[in-house]
Chains A and B, each alone.
Chain A
Amino acid sequence: MRSLILIPALLLAGPALAAGWAVDPTQSTLVIEGQQGANTIRITLPEWTAEIAFDPQDLTKTRIRAEIALGALASQTENASDKAEEERELKGASWFAVAEHPTALFTATGAELFEGGTLRSRGTLTIRGTAVPADLVFTVAITGDTAKAAGQAAVSWTDYGIGWDPAQSGIAPQVTVRFDLTATRMP
């Protein structure tokens, strides 16, 4: 009975959907920050696309769907041979296996007010076919038709059954995925 009511409600809600936002890739960044001992490893992900619906007046209508091309990852390590090794390993079978799983997928529905004026969107991050809950904590500032958003998600890569044993490699089991984006309101 409930679903019967819901379907027309969704159809009616069509025009009232939250505004769509087009991400400007030239003004947006996505970075993974990990720790190995005292060393910070920074991996940038220059290739990703996102479909975003967001209305600051109604956070429940938030929709995020981002596809990240893992094969395009780039280590920011200065030393050339260390950088090459990190990129090769991360793309290889021990980590992301980009040959078989070229993209990671993040989806989230709804958002809520969180600590210190930030917003939180509870989503799911899928890597190598494994979906694990991931919370995105972010801020949004909208000026006219331009939105600037920045935020992060803590990701435990060990949950995906990938990577090297933290007790042997010294790589911290949790990394921070950070984004910074500029988007324009779609007509």
Chain B
Amino acid sequence: MAPTRYDAVAMTLHWVIAFAILGTFAGGLVMTNLAAGDPYRFTIYQLHKSFGLTILVLSLARLGWRLTHVAPALPEGTPAWQGVLARATHVLFYALIVIVPLSGWALVSSATRAVPTFWFGLFEVPHLPGLQGFADQRAVFTQVRDAHEILALAMIGLLVLHVAAALKHHYIDRDDVLARMLPRFGGR
């Protein structure tokens, strides 16, 4: 039988990844719009890469949790089309939280001037293999970069949709769809 709430592991991963995605996306917007030669750009890029890799690892953990657990059921009486949409959104979300950071890692690894990645300054993360040595390296890099940007934007679009749906459930439908992903402060 499906549980009525997400457990602590799922909840922690959900919220940590959620805020990391927002911060990393914001950082990505900032760093790609910095003036040339800005002294902080390397720091911001390294932070963006560090958070991105963290999101990748946490997302894989989350995917692992999801594949080994049963998620809470949709509220009774959910129209079939909403159920299909909810499921599709979640499958796409699980895919994107893995693919977006992975595409970022590929971007870094295919750059014509590949800057090493230092995970929060603690250790160097190697580049992904097989992404260097192309005849037109710049063209490969440009395509990977464009893909990363489009995928990231798609993920943010999905995030907006996801938040809107959660708020709709909470304030309009007044069901427990949002609440079951929230910690029960003080019990209920």
A residues near B, CB below 8 A?
Answer: 36-39, 41, 77, 79, 81-82, 85, 88-89, 92-94, 164-165, 167-170
Q: Is B115 an interface residue (CB 8 A)?
A: yes
Interface residues of B in 67-106 (CB under 8 A from A): none
Tell me whether B42 and A92 are in contact (CB under 8 A). Answer: no
Q: Which chain A residues lie closer than 8 Å to B42 at the CB level?
A: 164-165, 168-169
B42: nearest residue on chain A (CB-CB)? A168
Question: How far does the alpha carbon of A37 sit from the alpha carbon of B126 in the complex, in Å?
Answer: 10
Question: How far does the alpha carbon of A81 sit from the alpha carbon of B36 in the complex, in Å?
Answer: 13
Q: Is B138 an interface residue (CB 8 A)?
A: yes
Tell me whether A39 and B39 are in contact (CB under 8 A). Answer: no
Contact with A along B108-119 (1 / 0, CB 8 A): 000011111010
Tell me whether A94 and B39 are in contact (CB under 8 A). Answer: yes
Tell me whether A170 and B118 are in contact (CB under 8 A). Answer: yes
Q: Which chain A residues lie closer than 8 Å to B115 at the CB level?
A: 36-37, 169-170
B114: nearest residue on chain A (CB-CB)? A37
Tell me whether B118 and A38 are in contact (CB under 8 A). Answer: no
Q: Which chain A residues lie closer than 8 Å to B138 at the CB level?
A: 79, 81
New contact pairs (20) apart from A37-B114, A39-B114, A81-B138, CB-CB < 8 Å: A37-B115, A37-B116, A38-B114, A38-B116, A79-B112, A79-B137, A82-B112, A85-B36, A88-B36, A88-B37, A89-B36, A94-B37, A164-B39, A164-B42, A167-B121, A168-B46, A169-B42, A170-B115, A170-B116, A170-B118
Question: How far does the alpha carbon of A85 sit from the alpha carbon of B116 in the complex, in Å?
Answer: 18
Question: How far does the alpha carbon of A74 sit from the alpha carbon of B137 in the complex, in Å?
Answer: 21
Contact with A along B130-155 (1 / 0, CB 8 A): 00000001100000000000000000
| B-side interface size class | 10 to 19
Question: How far does the alpha carbon of A168 sit from the alpha carbon of B36 in the complex, in Å?
Answer: 16
Q: Which of A36, A82, A168, A169 has the most CB of B within 10 A?
A: A168
Distance in Å: Cβ of B106 to nearest Cβ of chain A: 16
Question: How far does the alpha carbon of A170 sit from the alpha carbon of B118 in the complex, in Å?
Answer: 8
Tell me whether A82 and B43 are in contact (CB under 8 A). Answer: no
Question: How far does the alpha carbon of A36 sit from the alpha carbon of B117 in the complex, in Å?
Answer: 11
23 A–B contacts, CB within 8 A, in A order: A37-B114, A37-B115, A38-B114, A38-B116, A38-B127, A39-B113, A77-B113, A79-B112, A79-B138, A81-B138, A85-B36, A88-B37, A89-B37, A94-B39, A164-B42, A165-B42, A167-B121, A168-B43, A168-B45, A168-B46, A169-B115, A170-B115, A170-B116
Q: Which chain A residues lie closer than 8 Å to B45 at the CB level?
A: 168
Question: How far does the alpha carbon of A41 sit from the alpha carbon of B114 in the complex, in Å?
Answer: 11
